Structure 1
Amino acid sequence: MTINTDKEDVNVTGDSRVIITNQPGIHENLEEIVEKHLLHRSQKPFQAHTEQAFAEMDALVKAHQGDVILDSCCGVGQSTRILAKQNPQALVIGVDKSAHRINRNVDELLHDDGAKIENFHLVRANLNDFYRLVDQANWPVTKHYILYPNPWPKSKHIQRRWHGSAVFPQIINIGEQIILRSNWRLYLEEFQFAADIAGVLGDISAITNEEPLTPFEAKYKASGQPCWQLLLNREYLPFI
């Protein structure tokens, strides 16, 4: 593994290492893993701190009249703030497992008129539980972002990637659009493959001159690494 997986310690420099994997392509067992998880949903008990965090956010979602955007694995929340600025009428919720990361101060974003960005919330929660709670509650999420997830590039760790995890059926069921970004194209190809098994289609494209959404994206671009986006569309699909 040649990538820093600690989301709190990312500096925008040009020394980001390239991901190295022992996989020649999409994991040979991924189809079997995904089909198993689609047939047998996780029944693991919810952690109390995540249930409490979800209840607080659920009350906000129910009171909100506009779009809801979910920013998973938000780290220090830079992406959450940017998405909130780009979507001023939306309720943007950023979720990360680390209280230290989401409580870190980042540059304060302002609207063009100088007003503070306030249409977002950062919450500490275990996403394996949070995803299941969101799915149960049928949140009206319009866009679901998973930006630069930990890739776990060794073949033996396939089930630690989101598309190989037991919670994948809930992940793929959240959001009219699901947007992933990565500097490891194979990760997105695998997620696209898994989504197709679940009946959700999408396309991968290169990220060119867009504003970096996360410190990771800025770091990879500064290192000259190409970054990619997978856009999955669920607008016209019934809930799985």
Structure 2
Amino acid sequence: MFANSRTVASAQTGPHDKLAALVERHRAAPFRKPLAAYSAAAFDAAVAAWRNAGSAPLIIDAGCGVGESTLRLASQCPDHFVIGIDQSESRIVRGKDWWEGSWPENFVWVRADLVDFWRQLHAASIRPARHYVLYPNPWPKIGQLARRWHAHAVFPTVVALGGVLECRSNWATYIDEFALAVEWLSGVRAHVEAWAPQDGTVPMTPFERKYLASGHGLHRCVATLSPALPLPPPLA
């Protein structure tokens, strides 16, 4: 059934007590993981599509899944260009018969490793106007902290890209941690709130729709970051 999503279960009752130390360690140590073999071509194709469309203000839809959020962002922001990124080619190319009407023209989907794509944006000095991380895997077990995006070694680069950074989750602790990591790295206090689409507003992603139908509380944080934040060292 559709409305059968379980709520997030975790032994954590608040932000992880090792989060601050982990974020500080990542801030201090350059992230040197080699790029995946397909990353350069994927990045080049996405940037070429953006530039061919006139290099409008850029929106990054990180972890776009089947691409519904990319289409909705492109429709809602016709004066921007949206790049939807997901590591799964099958999700990106899956049929889109759920979309009504014609597709907007101001977007592209690309299969890429997000960790690589974020670092390539930084290396190319490309700064998004808006940046969405919608319903990432929460990795809720206490021992899974390092798997959460805000505790990952790439997160200082994500924050350094600037723009308006928004994360949504059905786990309040994830959003609280995300906001703390953003503030520690940037000095900017994110706006955190319980959130749901307004009346008449269509959910942005299939997960958002399913969580709402299952009665989950939704949460988000939004941080307006300076476009001139100090950047971590460039790719090796």
Which TM-score applies when normalising by structure 2? 0.90
Aligned to 1:19: 8
Q: CA deviation at 1:105?
A: 1.4
Matched ranges for 1:1-240 at <5 A = 13-63=2-52, 64-106=54-96, 107-110=98-101, 116-199=103-186, 200-208=188-196, 209=198, 210-235=201-226, 238-240=229-231
| Secondary structure of 1:89's aligned partner | coil
Flag structure 1 segments of 5+ consecutive residues without an equivalent.
1-10
Aligned equivalents of 2:77, 2:62: Cα separation in 1? 17
Q: CA deviation at 1:108?
A: 3.3
Aligned equivalents of 1:230, 1:172: Cα separation in 2? 13
Contact 1:41–1:167 (Cα < 8 Å) also in 2: no
Aligned to 1:7: none
| Secondary structure of 2:190's aligned partner | strand
Aligned equivalents of 1:109, 1:203: Cα separation in 2? 33
Q: CA deviation at 1:201?
A: 2.1
Which is further off, 120-129 or 62-71? 62-71
Flag structure 2 segments of 5+ consecutive residues without an equivalent.
232-236
Q: CA deviation at 1:237?
A: 5.1
Which TM-score applies when normalising by structure 1? 0.89
1:70-121 CA distances to partner (integer Å, 9 max, x unpaired)?
00000000000000000112110000000000011123354xxxx5312111
Which is further off, 196-205 or 153-162? 196-205
Aligned equivalents of 1:229, 1:132: Cα separation in 2? 24
RMSD: 1.6
Aligned equivalents of 1:212, 1:161: Cα separation in 2? 23
Contact 1:82–1:109 (Cα < 8 Å) also in 2: no
Provide the aligned length of Structure 1 versus Structure 2.
225
Aligned equivalents of 1:33, 1:164: Cα separation in 2? 6
Which residue identity lines up with residue 51 of structure 1 in the other structure?
Answer: A
| Secondary structure of 1:36's aligned partner | helix
Which residue identity lines up with residue 224 of structure 2 in the other structure?
Answer: N
Aligned equivalents of 2:162, 2:210: Cα separation in 1? 28
1:165-195 CA distances to partner (integer Å, 9 max, x unpaired)?
1101111122410011111010010011111
Contact 2:69–2:204 (Cα < 8 Å) also in 1: yes
Which residue identity lines up with residue 121 of structure 2 in the other structure?
Answer: V
Q: Aligned residues: percent identity? A: 38
Aligned equivalents of 2:106, 2:122: Cα separation in 1? 22
Q: Runs ≥4 in structure 1, deviation > 4 angstroms?
A: none
Aligned equivalents of 2:106, 2:99: Cα separation in 1? 13
Contact 1:109–1:117 (Cα < 8 Å) also in 2: no
Aligned equivalents of 1:185, 1:68: Cα separation in 2? 28
Aligned equivalents of 2:227, 2:86: Cα separation in 1? 29
Aligned equivalents of 2:103, 2:211: Cα separation in 1? 29
